[in-house]
């Protein structure tokens, strides 16, 4: 009954032919004109990526500095190398290798479901074309000793990547997906995550693609009982980015935290759509997304929380706050709560605003100059989202990238020097 890879690819092509690239007529693409962004690629969308790019020293140059991790470089959608000797109980393979050696596993990784939340034509396109990615499985009780760091360097016009991460019972891992595309084009990446009972996964996306590039990401997480999923999605680069995160809380006691940060300027456009589906009792979800928008940039946040009938004692809280540094920046934010039982605790809120005058005055009354006070508050606002990132080199990297995007950010970074983020002075 299981599909062959050829059958799956054919079905995916067929689904893409039917759905096409999303247009603004679709409810969830109302504010994000990906069709226009991809217009230059329209005729090549079904073409497979050409030869992989030469990477050479680029991998080291663009890597997160000082990060002690299992690093895997993925160049133009091709996995260049795998860890030589991963720890006992950790199985890492490339999707390309798996499609060859264990096609049924490859088919499972490429699985797509037209009924899934936020499904769209680009998901089908990914299933039709993704030739590579990382497939990692942790056996029960295995704790990955250091983060798995997936560095994506893309120059190809259209790059489709599929990752699959499976954590066995009580397994633990941190996975960092870092996107550093260098030219115009499309990155279309789907990560399918599965957390067995009691597993803990921290999944971090750092999107720093070049301006001119379109970044489409999708994260599908399935949480079994008492598993814990923490997701950070940081959108800094690309001209247009759209990240969909779908968390299915399937087992009682599952715990999910979705945090995100988008910093946009110029004419950048950053869109996050998240869905948290509470399907079991006693689950908890927390969500905090923040954005800082400058120039004529635009951001979209849509956070849907669905509490299904049997999911009693659900505890869910969601917030989205946006800071507009420019009068021409725009944000569309929409929390959506769907609750099908009475025994739940749900809170959500969205704000769009400027810096708080009382806070500004307080800082100035202590001697901070006006600009300094503004920068500090802006940075602090963004940095709140990063407090859950326990890998210091990763947090520093994101903070540095954030500083370089904020107006006069370098000044504040200098002022904060010797300050390690935990509040201790060096």
Partner 1 sequence: MLKIENLHVRVDGKAILKGINLHVRAGEVHAIMGPNGSGKSTLSNVIAGRDGYEVSEGSIRFKGKDLLGMAPEERAWEGVFLAFQYPVEIPGVNNTYLLKAGVNARRRHLGLPELDAMDFMQRVKEKAKLVELDPSFLSRGVNEGFSGGEKKRNEIFQMAVLEPELALLDETDSGLDIDALRVVAGGVNRLRSPERAIVMVTHYQRLLDYIQPDIVHVLVDGRILKSGDKALALELEARGYDWVREEAGA
Positions touching partner 1 (CB under 8 A) are: 356-359, 361-370, 372-373, 376-377, 379-381, 383-384, 415-416, 418-419, 422-426
Q: How far is the CB of 358 from partner 1 (least distance, A)?
A: 5
Nearer to partner 1, 408 or 419 (CB): 419
Compute, in degrees rounded to 10, the torsion defined by CA atoms 110, 113, 116, 118.
70
Residue closer to partner 1 (CB basis): 194 or 374? 374
Residue closer to partner 1 by CB (options 337, 415) is 415
To the nearest 10 degrees (0 to 180), the angle between helices 392-405 and 370-383 is 140
| 3-class DSSP state of 18 | helix
Nearer to partner 1, 165 or 386 (CB): 386
- Please state, in angstroms and rounded to a whole number, the distance separating the CA atoms of residues 275 and 116: 10
Closest distance of CB 408 from partner 1, Å: 14
C-beta closer to partner 1: residue 80 or 401:
401
Closest CB 395 distance from partner 1, rounded Å: 13
Identify whether the C-beta of residue 193 lies closer than 8 Å to the C-beta of residue 219: yes
Whether residue 244 contacts residue 218, with contact meaning beta carbons closer than 8 Å, is answered with yes
Helix axes of 103-110 and 5-19: crossing angle, nearest 10 degrees = 20
Q: How far is the CB of 326 from partner 1 (least distance, A)?
A: 21
Cα 314 to the center of its chain, rounded Å: 24
Q: Are 264 and 293 in contact (CB under 8 A)?
A: yes
CB of 374 to partner 1, least distance (A): 12
- What's the min distance (Å) between Cβ of 378 and partner 1? 10
Smaller CB distance to partner 1: residue 14 or 356? 356
Q: If you search the block for the tokens 């006069």, which residue do you land on?
A: 408
Integer Cα distance of 277 and 289 in angstroms: 17
């Amino acid at each position: 009954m299981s599909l062959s890879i050829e059958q799956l690819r054919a079905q995916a092509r067929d689904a893409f032919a039917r759905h096409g690239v999303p247009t603004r007529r679709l409810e969830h693409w109302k504010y994000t004109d990906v069709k226009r962004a991809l217009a230059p690629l329209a005729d090549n969308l079904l073409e497979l990526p050409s030869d992989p790019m030469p990477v050479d020293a680029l991998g080291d140059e663009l890597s997160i500095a000082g990060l002690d991790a299992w690093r895997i470089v993925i160049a133009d959608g091709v996995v260049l190398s795998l860890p030589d000797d991963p720890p006992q109980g950790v199985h890492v393979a490339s999707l390309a290798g798996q499609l060859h050696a264990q096609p049924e596993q490859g088919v499972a990784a490429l699985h797509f479901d037209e009924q899934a939340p936020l499904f769209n034509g680009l998901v089908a396109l990914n299933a039709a074309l993704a030739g590579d990615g990382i497939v990692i499985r942790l056996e029960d009780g295995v704790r990955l000793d250091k983060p798995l760091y997936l560095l994506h360097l893309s120059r190809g016009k259209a790059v489709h990547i599929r990752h699959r991460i499976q954590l066995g019972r009580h397994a633990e891992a941190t996975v960092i997906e870092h996107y550093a595309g260098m030219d115009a084009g499309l990155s279309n990446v789907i990560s399918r995550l599965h957390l067995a009972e009691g597993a803990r996964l921290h999944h971090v996306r750092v999107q720093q693609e070049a301006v001119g590039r379109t970044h489409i990401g999708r994260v599908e997480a399935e949480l079994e009982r008492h598993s814990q999923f923490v997701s950070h999605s940081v959108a800094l680069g690309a001209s247009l980015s759209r990240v969909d995160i779908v968390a299915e809380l399937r087992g009682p006691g599952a715990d999910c935290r979705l945090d995100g940060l988008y910093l946009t300027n110029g004419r950048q456009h950053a869109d996050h759509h998240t869905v948290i589906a509470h399907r079991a009792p006693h689950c908890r979800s927390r969500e905090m997304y923040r954005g800082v928008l400058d120039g004529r940039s635009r951001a979209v946040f849509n956070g849907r929380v669905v509490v299904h009938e049997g999911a009693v004692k659900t505890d869910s809280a969601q917030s989205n706050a946006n800071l507009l540094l420019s009068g021409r920046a725009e944000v569309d934010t929409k929390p959506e709560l769907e609750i099908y039982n009475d025994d739940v605790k749900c809170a959500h809120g969205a704000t769009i605003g400027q810096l708080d005058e009382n806070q500004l005055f307080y800082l100035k009354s202590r001697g901070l100059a006006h600009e300094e006070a503004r920068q500090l508050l802006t940075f602090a606002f963004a940095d709140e989202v990063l407090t859950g990132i326990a890998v210091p080199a990763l947090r520093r990297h994101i903070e540095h990238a954030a500083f370089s995007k904020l107006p006069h950010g370098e000044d504040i970074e200098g002022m904060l020097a010797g300050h390690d983020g935990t509040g201790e002075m060096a």
